[in-house]
Amino acid sequence: MPREKQGKRKTKGAPQSIVSILQKFLKTYEKRCVQTQTSVCPAIKRDLKASINHERILRKFVLVRPDDSPPGILPISLEPLLMTVRDECYMLGREICIWGFQLSNPEIARLALLLESKGHTRCPFTTLELIDCKMDPWSLGRLGQALHLSSLHVLVLDYCRFTHEEIESIFSGLENNQRLQSLSLRYCGLGPQNGPRLGSIVCHSAIRELHLGGNYLQCSGALGLLRPLAEYAEMQGKDQLAISSPDTGNPPPLLQARQRGSSPLNQIAESSRAVTVKPTSGKKRKKGIKKKIKDLIETGPWLVKLYLADNGIDGKGKEGENDLLELTQILTCLIKYSVHLKEIDLGNNVLGEKAAVDLLEALRARKTGKLPVLKITVTPQISSDTFRSIWKNSKKSSITHKKKKKAKN
């Protein structure tokens, strides 16, 4: 008898099944499409039905523009999907991907409101992909404003071509962002003038992965991006050496040059340390503080993954070989000292044999210093011996060390 009562109570309080939630979501989405005089996105409908059939949660919404749309067919819009997410209070989604659309101001305005709702009703989405999409200056400005208040961890804007003024709208929303961890701007038309701005953003945000392949930063743009990161890495590396060995009294080479002028590196380092939150040793901890620690990531001038493939980085720019020489020094410094960096892609950039040899020596120094293995990709337009050595030194060891069995007493 007690078992029957327990079973009844469990049935009465049982949560709504994922199938019924998704069925209701699909019905509301189709209704909203009719109201807004737009077509149902085939990809959205297909994914919803597949999730219903397999009784699984739908985490990723992909809005794709069809390749061939017959004349007279109503257009597909982002608005009905966002309205449905709001109407159904669907908190199970994590990624929203929009591919190949000309996004209108009302669509971006509704998307921005959803991203900003973390202060009221928490926005479920942590990944936003806008790939090969077109937006006017107003939409870009509105999106930039929303990034300040969003809970996004990943932002992908690949193949969205921006002018210098347009990309500034996005950059403004990334300043001092303590939540976004991955930024992808591949094939966006970035040039040398965008390098220093990106470097400043990385220094004052939580971005740890930066995808910039297919742009035209050239040596000068890459220098503007990497210089503060290399200085910070070298400073940290020298600090570690100073702790473990007697101080020679000579400052690091890169910092030595900076000391002649006014460098903000020390301020950046201090602000980076100030943001780091350490848990208290006591058992008591307020829920609000714990949640804040979980949401916010340490800011500072360092990256884990950096992708700079196909960026016109060679000795043919305005400053020619001088810029390439300086960039090589910056890269070798980053490789030798950065404990955070795990992967760097320099493929399809003609660095030349001398620069490649310098990078190889830096990889060997990194290994000698017992820093984590760094995966590095370079173009094979160098000697086969150098290319093979770089590949070997950036390859993780396949040797597994067996744990010794504890001796029985």
The yes-or-no verdict on residue 118 having pLDDT over 80 is no
Global pTM reads: 0.82
What is the pLDDT confidence band of residue 242, given thresholds at 50, 70 and 90? low
Q: Is residue 244 part of a domain?
A: yes
Q: Within this chain, do residues 249 and 128 fall inside the same structural domain, yes or no?
A: no
Q: What average pLDDT score do residues 272-285 get?
A: 42
Q: Within this chain, do residues 267 and 127 fall inside the same structural domain, yes or no?
A: no
pLDDT tens, position by position, 281-333: 444 444 444 444 445 566 778 899 999 999 999 877 666 688 899 999 999 99
Q: Is residue 6 part of a domain?
A: no
Q: Quick one: pLDDT at residue 408? A: 47
Q: What average pLDDT score do residues 32-44 get?
A: 96
Q: Quick one: pLDDT at residue 381? A: 85
Domains identified in the chain, total number = 2
The yes-or-no verdict on residue 249 having pLDDT over 70 is no
Look at 183-192, 203-212, 275-284 and tell me which has the smallest mean pLDDT: 275-284
Q: Within this chain, do residues 234 and 338 fall inside the same structural domain, yes or no?
A: yes
The yes-or-no verdict on residue 177 having pLDDT over 70 is yes
Q: Within this chain, do residues 177 and 243 fall inside the same structural domain, yes or no?
A: no
Q: Within this chain, do residues 43 and 188 fall inside the same structural domain, yes or no?
A: yes
CATH number, position 39: 3.80.10
Q: Is residue 3 part of a domain?
A: no
Q: Quick one: pLDDT at residue 398? A: 41
Q: Quick one: pLDDT at residue 49? A: 97
Supply 135's token pair.
Answer: 């937006």
Range of the domain at 337: 224-272+299-393
Q: Is residue 351 part of a domain?
A: yes
Q: Is residue 150 part of a domain?
A: yes
The yes-or-no verdict on residue 97 having pLDDT over 60 is yes
Q: Is residue 219 part of a domain?
A: no
Q: Is residue 348 part of a domain?
A: yes
pLDDT tens, position by position, 217-236: 999 999 999 999 999 999 88
User: Across all residues in the chain, what is the average pLDDT?
Assistant: 82
Under a CB-based contact definition with an 8 Å cutoff, are residues 207 and 180 in contact? yes
pLDDT tens, position by position, 44-96: 999 999 999 999 999 999 999 887 767 778 999 999 999 999 999 999 999 99
Q: Quick one: pLDDT at residue 301? A: 87
The yes-or-no verdict on residue 140 having pLDDT over 60 is yes
- 168 CB burial (10 A radius; 0-12, 13-18, 19+): middle
The yes-or-no verdict on residue 17 having pLDDT over 80 is yes
Q: Is residue 10 part of a domain?
A: no
